[in-house]
Amino acid sequence: MFDFDVLKKEMEELEEKGLLVKIRTLESPQGAWLNIEGKKVLNMCSNNYLGLCFDEELKEAAIDGIRKWGVGPGAVRSIAGTLELHNELETELARFKKVESTLVVQSGFNANQSVIPPIVSEEDAILSDELNHASIIDGVRLTKAMRYVWKHKDVDDLEAQLQKAETDGARRKLVITDGVFSMDGDLAPLPQIVEKTNKYGAILMVDDAHGEGVLGSHGRGIVDHYGLHGSVDIEVGTLSKAFGIVGGFVAGKRVLIDYLKQKARPFLFSSSLSPAETAAAIAAVRKLSSSDELVKTLWSNSDYFKEQLKALGFDTGHSETPITPVMLYDAKLSAAFSKRLFEEGIFASSIGFPTVPKGKARIRVMISASHSRKDLDFAVSKFELIGKELGVIK
Ligand code: PMP
């Protein structure tokens, strides 16, 4: 028998370094405030940007979805058939994203596994920003393509890598970037990336998981934010963050989506979203299409919170979005800060290696439209208290 104690030892070492992930059990639904371990705490770490996780309209839509369609999809869509509901969601999403077609899969993670492997082979090259999300990295690993990594947001380095790929004789060149970088909240320089990919005849793919429902008009995402409709070949999105549910999608030309329905392994070999999730997602897209009020509240909350923290002397990195990293650099300090926040009534996780590079530990604060000004002021006062206590600010 394998001696599992070696795994225990590894976890003890992680704990020693402040890198053991602590998973909290929620005793209440996702919302601005949570009950955890019998304590009421302000939620500052979910991706529930617009507060839709507990939205009445979405809940009703999910219940109606169950009443009409049951609880499960039966099998994979390519074998057991696609529910009309799935098609409806894909049509609504395509209209919202202003693209020809979309393919919905079980998660944003799976959306990357769905689109990257089918479109490249060993004759091709993939070029990836060094800080791209783990699901992109894993999607790339599933291919035999040649790999090139460019320095974070450095378009000159991207061009150098495109030239290398050309010299190496790559047939297709697939350029992939996060739209919003999930741990720093900074944006990809998409207009300049479009320019380079056009110059080298490359395919451009953007993973906009943290931009969906956040950036652009009505939260249409980073492509809309920069006015680049028609210039990005492939968009990947998630339904699990601002949309408040779960699921992921690929958006692009009809021919691409039709091809993925023949080739994408998470679509062909794993069952689809349940009726409840699908119906709730349709309601979320309709809600966002009809009003941008929640998106506006999210941004005013995020601007306010960042200004307050900066005024206190905190380093909030290079964030351009509601993702607010409070940079502490040292993993142990970051873990201690998060622990003290929890004691003071704030749930905000410490993020360390390998999620972020070594020596770049931080508290990652996620702002939501569901936070009130009073909530944000409460959080600011606690950051000030603990920041001074731990010597992070004066
Ligand atoms: N891409 C990016 C950039 C992400 O931040 C995430 C979520 N952390 C995902 C993909 C995966 O999305 P999901 O949670 O829907 O699988």
CATH code for the structural domain at 56-290: 3.40.640.10
| Ligand 1 contacts CB of residue 135 (under 6 A) | yes
User: Which residues are known to be catalytic?
Assistant: 182, 210, 241
Residue ranges per structural domain of the chain: 25-54+292-389, 56-290
> Using a 6 Å cutoff on CB, does residue 240 contact ligand 1?
yes
For 339, which DSSP code?
Answer: H
Q: In 3-state terms, what secondary structure has residue 18?
A: coil
User: Which band of pLDDT confidence, cut at 50, 70 and 90, is reported for residue 129?
Assistant: very high
Q: Count CB atoms within 10 A of the CB of residue 122.
A: 9
ipTM over 0.85: yes
State the distance from the centre of ligand 1 to the C-alpha of 198, rounded, in angstroms: 27
- Strands, sheet with 323-329, edge to edge from the N-terminal-most edge strand: 323-329, 361-366, 350-351
Predicted pLDDT of residue 64: 98
Buried/exposed code over 166-181 (b: 16+ C-beta within 10 A; e: otherwise): eeeebebbbbbbbbbb
Ligand 1 lined by 131 (C-beta under 6 Å): no
Q: Which atom of ligand 1 is nearest to the CA of 240?
A: 15
Mutation probe of ligand 1 site: the residue of 182, 238, 239 with most atoms within 8 A of C-beta: 238
149 Cα to the center of ligand 1, angstroms: 20
| CA separation for the pair 191, 169 (Å, rounded) | 26
- Per-residue pLDDT, averaged over 356-376, amounts to 96
d(CA 364, CA 46): 10
Give the DSSP letter of residue 177: E
Give me the pLDDT at residue 18, please. Answer: 77
How confident is the model at residue 36, as a pLDDT? Answer: 96
Residue 249 — pLDDT band, cuts 50, 70, 90? very high
The answer to whether the CB of 106 is under 6 A from ligand 1 is no
Radius of gyration of the chain (CA): 21
CATH code linked to domain 25-54+292-389: 3.90.1150.10
pLDDT on residue 388 = 98
